Amino acid sequence: MAKFLFTAAYTVEGINGLMRDGGTRRAEVIRALIENTGGRMESLYFALGQYDAYVICDLADQQTAVALAATIRAAGGLDTRIIPLLTPEDMDEALRMKVAYQPPGA
């Protein structure tokens, strides 16, 4: 499983739906959506600022993350973005990789 952060900004249509349904109901819908793909929702927070909601979840792969984000965006209530998250161990493994690179002008 890979960990992802979804950010979401509500459209006018989406905020009207949130006002009708409430935050708890929307969290239940998102949890079910993620679990139906075999994933697990770690947390969901509503926020004030650039984004209206943040969801951290475990998903099988990037394709699943894209499918979820595309489906949610196509419905018109949210503008979603996907950010893959790395554990400290993932970062250590990546930093141990030897990559040949020649900077410009070298």
* Mean pLDDT on 13-31: 96
Task: Give the per-residue pLDDT at 42.
Answer: 98
Amino acid at 27: A
Task: Give the per-residue pLDDT at 106.
Answer: 81
pLDDT digits (tens, 9 = 90+) for 40-65: 999 999 999 999 999 999 999 999 99
Give all strands of the β-sheet with 40-46 in edge-to-edge order.
Answer: 40-46, 53-59, 2-10, 78-85
Record the pTM: 0.88
* Mean pLDDT on 30-41: 97
pLDDT digits (tens, 9 = 90+) for 62-86: 999 999 999 999 999 999 999 999 9
